[in-house]
Amino acid sequence: MPARNQAALDFLLTRRSHPAKLFTHPVPDRDQLVEILTAALRVPDHGKLEPWRLVILQGAAFARLADLAEARAHELNGDAEKVAKGRGQYDVGKLAVVVISSPKPAPKVPEVEQRLSAGALCFGIVNAAEAAGWGACWLTGWPAHDAAFVASAFGCTEGESVAGIVHIGTPPPDAPDRPRPDLARLTTWVDQ
């Protein structure tokens, strides 16, 4: 039987995302964030293509992006709710890592696998941040799926997309948990 890492398993069985809007300062400093990202970059990457890139948001970047999201909502004739949702995560942001899915031409590695690798990187950042003692929350929101917004905000080019925006900060002491999926209802066992 393989060696069991009980501490890691216990962490995974009890980990949870925290609502980004409840994060406070402090946030990881550069060295702490580099450690988190180094751990997260051990993500599955079929073909070693590195089909993603990272944009770190901090400080005044959040106010700029909130204003950009609001302006884009108005361009789309959005109502007050669309404006509020567009600004939302940027108005409360402290530190965030934007994971840009950036598939590479590779005949042997389907684009879907490359995009899934970017999603795995988002989850890797969440897990690494929480293992390091921080709160983390993976978000997107409508601006993250708007081509004009992501081009202006994050320099996305054709073929690139935002896989996730992972907010990292100090979580509240008593963050609520959410109901967890019913494994029995979602699982089919096939043995023949």
Q: Where are the domains of the chain?
A: 19-57+94-171
Is 16 assigned a ligand-binding role in the annotation? yes
SS3 call for 20: helix
Q: Mean pLDDT for each consecutive 10-residue tract of the chain (192 residues)?
A: 94 88 96 98 91 98 98 96 95 97 95 96 97 96 98 98 98 84 96 94
Known binding residue 17? Answer is yes
Per-residue pLDDT, 16: 83
Confidence (pLDDT) at 173: 87
- The CATH class, in words, for 19-57+94-171 is alpha beta
* pLDDT of 156: 98
CA–CA distance, 146 with 153 (Å, rounded to integer): 10
Q: Confirm or deny that 64 is annotated as ligand binding.
A: no
**C-beta separation of 43 from 155 below 8 A:** no
Residue with tokens 């708007």: 146
138: annotated binding-site residue? Answer: yes
Q: Any binding-site annotation on 46?
A: yes
The pLDDT score that the predictor gives to residue 18 is: 83
Please write down the long-range contacts of 154-158, taking CB distance under 8 Å and 24 or more positions apart. Answer: 154/55, 154/98, 154/100, 155/55, 156/100
140 is in an annotated binding site: yes
